[in-house]
C-alpha cells in the first residue's frame, strides 16, 4: 500500500487534469460503468461523518470525511478532515491511502467546472461565489479554466473574512448574496446553511446556479421558487433526493444527470434565458476517479512512499 501527502495531491495533477478526469467519471457513470455510489451519514454532535464508496475502472475507493464546523474557532484547524483508501477491485489489495479534504476540494470544484462547461452561457464572464471557505478559491480557479471570467463577486457570513478573501483573489466583496448574484451569469453556493437564502428574485434569466453546499439532509441554500423555475440537473439523482436541494422539493422535475449531458444523450440548457440549477452533492464516483488518477501519477513520478501496514 502506498501513501501520498496533501502537498503531493495538489502537485501531481493540475486543475485542468481534475476537470477532465471528473468529466470522464460523470460519463462513465452515465454509461453504467461504475458500481453503485454509496453514501452514509453518522451524526456526531456538533459534527457529522460522511462515508462514501464507489468502484470505477478496476478499483474501489472508500472515503470517510469528518465535518465539524466549529474546528476553526475551537482548534484552529480546518472544518473538514478525512481519508480515502483505494483498493484493487479484482483482489481487494489496498493500493493507496491519502488525505481526503484536499481531494474533495479539488474534485468538487472540478465537478462544478464540468457543469459550467456544459450548462453556462458561452460568454459567461461574471461569477458570484457565496461562501469563503476552503471550496471558494478552488472553484474560482476551476471555473476560470472553462469560462472567460472577468469579474468575481464574493459574499460570506463574516464581512471581515469576505473582504480579505476578495482582496486575495481579485474579487469584489458584497454585503448580501443578492448583491452578488443579480450581477452574475454563474453563481456558486458554497455554504453549510440550513436555511435557504437564495430565491428566484435574486438571479437573472440565463444564470447557472451551482448549488454545492447541500450535502446532508438538513442543509439547504435555495428557496422553492428558484427550484420551481429552473431546469434542474443533478450529479446523481438518487443522492440529490437524499441530501441535496432536491431533498427539500422532491417533486421538482429532473432534466438529466450531468453525465448524461456530457455524453449528449440528454440536453441541459435549451435557451439562452433558461435558469439552470446544478444540484451538486459530491459523489463517490468523483472520489474514486481522483484517487485512481493520483495513484497512477504517483507511481509514474515516484511520489509518496510505501505504507507498511503488515510489518
Domains of the chain by residue range: 2-103+285-306, 114-282
Coil, strand or helix at 222 = strand
Average pLDDT over residues 123-142: 96
Average pLDDT over residues 254-275: 97
Radius of gyration of the chain from its Cα atoms, rounded to whole angstroms: 19
pLDDT higher than threshold 80 for residue 38: no
- pLDDT class of 73 with cuts at 50, 70, 90: confident
Mean pLDDT (the chain) is 95
pLDDT higher than threshold 90 for residue 103: yes
Average pLDDT over residues 250-262: 96
pLDDT higher than threshold 80 for residue 294: yes
- pLDDT class of 77 with cuts at 50, 70, 90: confident
pLDDT higher than threshold 90 for residue 244: yes
Coil, strand or helix at 262 = helix
- How far is Cα 294 from Cα 303, in angstroms, rounded to an integer? 10
In the prediction, which pLDDT does 78 show?
85
The 8 Å CB, 24+ separation contacts for 10-14 are 10/102, 10/106, 11/303, 12/294, 12/297, 12/298, 12/301, 12/303, 13/106, 13/290, 13/293, 13/294, 13/297
Question: C-alpha grid cell for residue 22?
Answer: 471528473
Cβ atoms of 128 and 173 within 8 Å: the answer is no
* Number of helices (H), then strands (E), in the chain: 11, 15
> What's CA 145's distance to the chain center, in Å?
15
pLDDT higher than threshold 90 for residue 117: yes
Can you spell out the DSSP letters for 74-112? HTSS-SEEEEEEEEETTT--EEEEEEHHHHHHHHHHHHH
Average pLDDT over residues 64-80: 88
Give the whole-number percent of the chain exceeding pLDDT 70: 100
- How far is Cα 257 from Cα 237, in angstroms, rounded to an integer? 7
In the prediction, which pLDDT does 37 show?
72
Q: Do domains 2-103+285-306 and 114-282 have the same CATH topology?
A: no
In the prediction, which pLDDT does 134 show?
87
In the prediction, which pLDDT does 36 show?
72
pLDDT tens-digit readout, 172-190: 999 999 999 999 999 999 9
Q: Grid coordinates 460503468 are at which residue?
A: 33
> What's CA 68's distance to the chain center, in Å?
18
Phi, psi of 71 (to 5 degrees): -60, -40
> Residue 56 pairs with which residues in a beta bridge?
34, 59
Q: Look up the CATH architecture of domain 114-282.
A: 3-Layer(aba) Sandwich (3.40)
DSSP code at position 289: H
- pLDDT class of 41 with cuts at 50, 70, 90: confident
Average pLDDT over residues 137-149: 97
Average pLDDT over residues 119-139: 97
In the prediction, which pLDDT does 310 show?
84
Average pLDDT over residues 249-256: 94
In the prediction, which pLDDT does 224 show?
96
Q: Look up the CATH architecture of domain 2-103+285-306.
A: 2-Layer Sandwich (3.30)
Amino acid at each position: 500500500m502506498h501513501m501520498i501527502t496533501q502537498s503531493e495531491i495538489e502537485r501531481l495533477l493540475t486543475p485542468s487534469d481534475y476537470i477532465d478526469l471528473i468529466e470522464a467519471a460523470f460519463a462513465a457513470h452515465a454509461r453504467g460503468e461504475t458500481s453503485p455510489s454509496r453514501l452514509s451519514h453518522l451524526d456526531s454532535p456538533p459534527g457529522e461523518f460522511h462515508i462514501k464508496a464507489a468502484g470505477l475502472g478496476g478499483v474501489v475507493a472508500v472515503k470517510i470525511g469528518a465535518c465539524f464546523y466549529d474546528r476553526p474557532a475551537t482548534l484552529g484547524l480546518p472544518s473538514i478532515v478525512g481519508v480515502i483508501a483505494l483498493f484493487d477491485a479484482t483482489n481487494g489489495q489496498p493500493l493507496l491511502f491519502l488525505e481526503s479534504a484536499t481531494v474533495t476540494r479539488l474534485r468538487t470544484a472540478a465537478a462544478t467546472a464540468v457543469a459550467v462547461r456544459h450548462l453556462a452561457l458561452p460568454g459567461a464572464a461574471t461569477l458570484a461565489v457565496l461562501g469563503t471557505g476552503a471550496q471558494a478559491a478552488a472553484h474560482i480557479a476551476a471555473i476560470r479554466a472553462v469560462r472567460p471570467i472577468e469579474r468575481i463577486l464574493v459574499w460570506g457570513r463574516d464581512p471581515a473574512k469576505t473582504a480579505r478573501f476578495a482582496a486575495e483573489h481579485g474579487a469584489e466583496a458584497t454585503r448580501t448574496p443578492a448583491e452578488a448574484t443579480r450581477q452574475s451569469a454563474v453563481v456558486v453556493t458554497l455554504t453549510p446553511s440550513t436555511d435557504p437564502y437564495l430565491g428566484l428574485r435574486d438571479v437573472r434569466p440565463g444564470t447557472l446556479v451551482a448549488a454545492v453546499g447541500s450535502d446532508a439532509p438538513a442543509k439547504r441554500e435555495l428557496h422553492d421558487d428558484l427550484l420551481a423555475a429552473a431546469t434542474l440537473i443533478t450529479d446523481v439523482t438518487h443522492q440529490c433526493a437524499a441530501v441535496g436541494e432536491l431533498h427539500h422539493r422532491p417533486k421538482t422535475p429532473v432534466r438529466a444527470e450531468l453525465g448524461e449531458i456530457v455524453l449528449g444523450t440528454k440536453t441541459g440548457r435549451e435557451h439562452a434565458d433558461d435558469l439552470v440549477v446544478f444540484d451538486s452533492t459530491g459523489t463517490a464516483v468523483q472520489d474514486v476517479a481522483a484517487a485512481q488518477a493520483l495513484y497512477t501519477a504517483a507511481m509514474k513520478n515516484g511520489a509518496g512512499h510505501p505504507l507498511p501496514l503488515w510489518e
